[in-house]
Amino acid sequence: MAQLNRATLARVLDVLGSEHAGEALAAAKLATAMVHDAGFTWDDVLRSELPAKQGLLAAPSFAESPSPAAPGLGPMGMRRERDLSPYEQFFMLLLSPRTPSHVKKELRGWETRVLDGEITPQETQDLRQLFKQFVA
């Protein structure tokens, strides 16, 4: 079961206000996947205090923020318990401040196909390489 990092979830939910409908939809799908993968429901998440469940990570304070190189942590503080799907990699590439704007602009052309799961094997491989280069 994946762990839920509330700080990461908050950053993903912040993208729901995007002008780009596909980006907002990707954020909603990623947020829902994060919540369900951690074994929670949205009702659990929206409570002021989450119930004590195994795998819950509280939002780190600035003093205790994990370093980017902390063992077991993936991009944006997420735990790496499984390989990320192409749409998760795509979305994190768009969110990452390390991804150059020209790469983000090119990726926007892939948005519909990625969200529909219709990217080619070569595009999946290219996406994985970009993810490793700019996010992981």
pLDDT-based confidence at 125, cuts 50/70/90?
Answer: very high
- pTM of this structure: 0.47
- According to DSSP H, which parts of 55-110 are helical? 86-95, 101-108
Computed over every residue of the chain, the mean pLDDT equals 76
CA–CA dist 56, 123 (Å, integer):
34
